[in-house]
Amino acid sequence: MRRERVDEQLKLGAFFHPTGNHVASWLDESAQIDAGTNFRHYAELARTAERGKFDLMFLADAVATRDGNQVALRRWPQYMAYFDPLTLLSAIAPLTKHLGLCATATTSYNEPYHIARKFASLDLISGGRAGWNVVTSSNQSEAFNFGREAHYEHDARYDRAVEFTDVVFGLWDSWDPDAFIRDRATALYYDPEKLHELNHKGKYFSVKGPLNVARSPQGRPVIFQAGSSEAGRELAAQTAEGVFTPQHTLGGAQAFYRDLKGRMDKFGRRPDQLKIMPGLNPIVGKTMAEARDKHEHLNSLIHPDVGLEVLSYALGKFDLRGYDLDGPLPDAVQKQSSNAGQTSFNNVLAWAREEKLTIRQLYLRFAGARGQRTLVGTPTSIADEMQAWFEGHGADGFLVHPATLPGGLDDFVDLVVPELQDRGLFRHEYAGTTLRDNLGLDVPESRYAA
């Protein structure tokens, strides 16, 4: 295959669900069964990802346990007990040197000052390797933990998120890079001319500032976003530097890539200031038969109660119990509206309509990969697909979701990464010490620099 994009290389992130991305991963004997609260497990994953020269590790989050059918949820523990990601990443920071440390934090149930302070602190602790995945919360149960009777409506969540991120960016500019003199001879600690109050007053927030954390080594942490709705794309084009997206066909990925990068000009941004990284659920075998056996084994572990619960959640909590598992999705689902994540909702409906998948087939596909694209194959076949998407401008890189942990990550690092390196598609060494260095992103200038 002729090399295209010869001056560019893939970007790789590693998404760590505690025991792995597959919904039944905790039942596989190779998985760390208590992973959610096992620090040594995460520390070893981070070291393995850094050995594989990954740009970043990424942790999802929610500020509520999963709400739903407890008969099913008792068989699916992964959202029930796990570390706060910023606390965990702060502990991992001194154990790594180059790996980016990225976490989700919702704009729906936080305050801008809290988020600005926590991520600026992580960036300083890690020497410039922090990243913030800006989300608006799809878990509707979170509302009940924060004094609300209902979740914010979808578009209102994004409207609030735009102002939220603007306030956070302003707080991150509170101090100029050279504001701190720290001179004993003159007894001067900082220069007041280089300290800036934000004095923000908007529709949702009133924040005086300044932030009581020095300016980030990266100017500010790297901003990621994962929404693919219209409102989510606008937010990403305006603010994001990396986008995580579930894409299942090259054509669909190319259309998303063109659309999102095409929106950036109106916000005064260049296309190369945003890295689009579709989700990838690789199941790697030294032979195709071995890879298929791994996939079939994991799918055989999915209990129907869990499969239905995961699928129901993606469909706006539509109750699928009582329907024929080997029959079609009921017509009533087509009329359902979702106030949760719209991307998964639309993907499931498309599979049902276009491929005529049964309920069982739908939950095996969706639950088995949490809505991400599954690639079952050898290192060569998986690298072929990644190269086709990269060179076809469907992706700048991938967010890799290992099906099981730690084994799935070991397989990818030991088998697929060398194949990508041999093709010149992926680095042999890190470009620098910060996440921005390795992603090839600009250091943003302070709004007060002029």
Of the pLDDT bands very low, low, confident and very high (cuts 50, 70, 90), residue 142 is: confident
Read off the amino acid at residue 210.
Answer: P
In a domain, 186, yes or no: yes
Distance, in Å, from the CA atom of 322 to the CA atom of 261, rounded to the nearest integer, reads 44
Q: Residue 341: what pLDDT?
A: 55
> Is 2 inside a domain boundary?
no
Rounded Cα distance, 141 and 151, in Å: 8
Q: What is the pLDDT of residue 339?
A: 47
Q: Is residue 278 part of a domain?
A: yes
Flag the least confident range among 7-11, 154-158, 285-289, 383-387: 154-158
Residue 328 scores a pLDDT above 80: yes
Is residue 192 in a domain? yes
Average pLDDT, the chain: 90
Higher pLDDT, 153 or 296: 296
- Which of the residue ranges 236-240, 326-330, 344-348 would you say has the lowest mean pLDDT? 344-348
* pLDDT average, residue stretch 66-73: 76
Within a domain: residue 450? no
State pLDDT tens for residues 130-139. 999 998 876 7
Cα separation, 20 vs 16, in Å, equals 6
Q: According to the model, what pLDDT value does residue 337 have?
A: 54
Taking residues 257-271, what's their average pLDDT?
A: 96
Residue 298 in domain: yes
| Whether the predicted pLDDT of 432 surpasses 70 | yes
Q: Which domain holds residue 213?
A: 11-439
Q: What is the pLDDT of residues 214-223, one digit of tens each?
A: 999 999 999 9
pTM over 0.85: yes
How many C-beta atoms surround the C-beta of residue 278 within 10 A? 24
Separation between Cα atoms, residue 436 and residue 123, nearest integer Å: 11
The CATH number given to whatever domain includes residue 253 is 3.20.20.30
Q: Is the pLDDT of residue 13 over 80?
A: yes
What is the average per-residue pLDDT within 190-194?
96
Q: Looking at 303-383, which runs of residues are DSSP E strands?
A: 373-377
1, part of any domain: no
Lowest mean pLDDT among 184-198, 239-253, 304-318, 389-403: 304-318
Domains of the chain: total: 1
Query: Helices marked H in 204-341 — which ranges?
Result: 230-239, 250-262, 288-300, 304-314, 331-334
Average pLDDT estimate for 290-318: 87
Provide, rounded to the nearest whole percent, the portion of the chain with pLDDT above 90.
Answer: 66
**Within a domain: residue 379?**
yes
pLDDT of 1 = 43
Whether 153 shows a pLDDT value over 90: the answer reads no
How far is residue 434's CA from residue 440's CA, in Å, rounded to a whole number? 10
Query: What tens digit of pLDDT does each residue of 88-139 get?
Result: 999 999 999 999 999 999 998 889 999 999 999 999 999 999 999 998 876 7
Alpha-carbon separation of residue 90 from 102, 123, 401, 429 (angstroms): 11, 9, 22, 24
